[in-house]
Structure formats: structure tokens, C-alpha cells
Amino acid sequence: MSLKITAVTPHQLASCLPLFKAYLAFYHVEQSDADCLAFLEARLHAHQARLWLAEDAEVAIGFALMYPGFNSLTLKPNWLLHDLYVAPEYRGSGVSKQLLQTCQAYVLSLGGGDIMLQTAHDNTVAQRLYERNDFVLDTEFRVYYWDGKNT
């Protein structure tokens, strides 16, 4: 495998779309191609996201999508690694690890900060990946979610 990981610009989003749609399908979410492209393009143009694409011989095989924020406790940037996806036929080949380490190197290149992420309780493969790459399970804070639907 000839793995190449690059930061995606808004003009390159079409090459990411099939993977992004596969990621959504994995979570049983359906969105139109146009809506996905518009969302990602807006995030990239506004510098509200960083998108990394993994390719093997110019074939898109995985991506990582991070959103920036800030941590008042550390007074440093805080990144949310919201999406990490590798095509099924490339899983177990180290692509996820390389994408994760690319995200970590990027944050360090900006002067540091932290990366937060979530994964399903039963996704032990992802949990092992994160723990092997210095992520620590948060046992201090509970995570709550509000979607605005009940207001």
C-alpha cells in the first residue's frame, strides 16, 4: 500500500464524498450529496473544520474530520475529532492509526492543545486504537447532549 494523507481543500471535496456518505450510512443517516458537499464546503471555507484524506494509489480510502474549539481550563485550543472513517476493505491495515497520528501532529504543529472524541461503548477496536495512541478515557466528567428537538 502506498498511503498518502493530505489536508482537503474545498475544491477537493468531491473525492471525499463517497467516504463521507459511507460514514453516514454506517450510522444509519441519510443526507443528499448536495447537502453534504455544501456543509463540508462551508466548514472548510470558514476555517471551522480540518479534513484529512487518506489515499492509496490516488483512491480515497479514509478520512478524519476535526472541528476546532477552545478549552478554558488549559487556555489552549481543543479539537473535536468528530469523524474517523476507513473503508471496510482497508480496516486493520494501519490507515486509522495514520489518520489519528496526522490529527495529533497537526494539533502539535499549532502549538498544542487537546483532542476530544467519542466512540460507541461496544466499539472496542476503536477504543484500543485510541488508547494505543495516548488517548485516555475520561472518568471525571459525564458527557451530556442536547439536540433542541424538545423545545
Which domains does the chain possess? 3-132 (3.40.630.30)
- Rounded to the nearest angstrom, the gap between the alpha carbon of residue 11 and the centroid of all alpha carbons in its chain is 19
pTM for the structure as a whole: 0.92
Residue pLDDT tens, the chain, 151 long:
799 999 999 999 999 999 999 999 999 999 999 999 999 999 999 999 999 999 999 999 999 999 999 999 999 999 999 999 999 999 999 999 999 999 999 999 999 999 999 998 998 999 999 999 999 999 998 888 888 887 7
Q: Compute CA distances 114 → 9, 45, 73, 97, 126, whole Å.
A: 23, 23, 11, 17, 18
